[in-house]
Amino acid sequence: MSEHRTGAPGQVKEVTSLANPLVKDIKALALKKFRDQQNAFMAEGLKLVIDALDLGWSIKTLVFAKAGLGNPTIEKVAARTVAAGGTVLEVSEKVLSAITRRDNPQMVVGVFSQRYLPLKDVRPRDGDVWVALDRVRDPGNLGTVIRTVDAVGAKGIILVGETTDPFSVETVRATMGSVFAVPVARATTEAFLAWRKGFPGLVAGTHLKGAVDYRSVDFSGRPVLLLMGNEQQGLPDSLAESCDRLLRIPQAGRADSLNLAVATGVMLFEIRRGALTLGAEG
């Protein structure tokens, strides 16, 4: 295969130059501005890419290391990419390292279209659990929450206000693939508050000044929206006042608060306590 500078989708190209425009476009996905311009994001690893395709995500480009040539699983994924109208790039290790900014990159990288669930389409039913994150800043926290939402079988996440990007490389890495399984909606605080008025179940906020022990609440039999505060400031009054209950996780020791992702995990496992049993995985 020869190196092409540009090309129509649905093709396979061999690329060894960092100056190749297709490579430059993918490298640019490290920055939010270009992710938004291209409406795209990057996910690393063969398993993740297969999971994403199985879940119906739209692949724009599949990048794989030359060393993957002849690997039947990679070739199958490449064929699926071409069939979906995507482009397949067979690249040198140097190019893959530059794209992922890692010395020992995964053999496969997928570039996918971003996808948000419109807030109006979040219509919870009994037993459904949603998590709303107020101005979450840290990509590691957001990725960990997405992974935990997936693990407990909650339905999805609503990002409220200015938040870190769910499609940044750091966030996607921290989700360990759950970014493809968990619907994410986003809203301004005002839009969220308007939508919240129609929420048919319990809106449970968490707050360091909450008067109610989170273990004393019966979460069963109704939709639950768990509202978590910003890492530095916690929930602002407007959001705290919109909650049916403000719950607290009792603490001992010197720490003022729990890490946001840890607090979300503690809450989610309590809310989903009755739904989770050993042997139900899969």
Residues that bind ligand SAM (CB under 6 A): 206-208, 210, 228-229, 231-232, 234-235, 248-249, 251, 257-258, 260, 263
Cα distance between residue 82 and residue 160, in whole Å:
37
**How many other β-carbons are positioned within 10 Å of the β-carbon of residue 8?**
8
Are 186 and 165 contacting, i.e. CB atoms less than 8 angstroms apart?
Answer: no
For residue 273, the minimal CB distance to ligand SAM (Å) is: 17
- In three-state secondary structure terms, 176 is coil
For residue 216, the minimal CB distance to ligand SAM (Å) is: 13
**Of 135 and 272, which CB lies nearer to ligand SAM in the complex structure?**
135
Q: Starting at the edge strand that comes first in sequence, how are the strands of the sheet with 184-187 ordered? A: 184-187, 156-160, 129-134, 224-228, 202-206, 245-248, 212-213
Type of residue numbered 267: M
**Of 40 and 187, which CB lies nearer to ligand SAM in the complex structure?**
187
**Of 1 and 255, which CB lies nearer to ligand SAM in the complex structure?**
255
**Of 106 and 164, which CB lies nearer to ligand SAM in the complex structure?**
164
User: What is the DSSP secondary structure assignment for residue 280, as one 8-state letter?
Assistant: -
For residue 211, the minimal CB distance to ligand SAM (Å) is: 11
* Angle between the N-to-C axes of helices 72-83 and 46-54, in degrees from 0 to 180, rounded to the nearest 10: 40
**How many other β-carbons are positioned within 10 Å of the β-carbon of residue 248?**
15
**Of 177 and 210, which CB lies nearer to ligand SAM in the complex structure?**
210
For residue 235, the minimal CB distance to ligand SAM (Å) is: 6
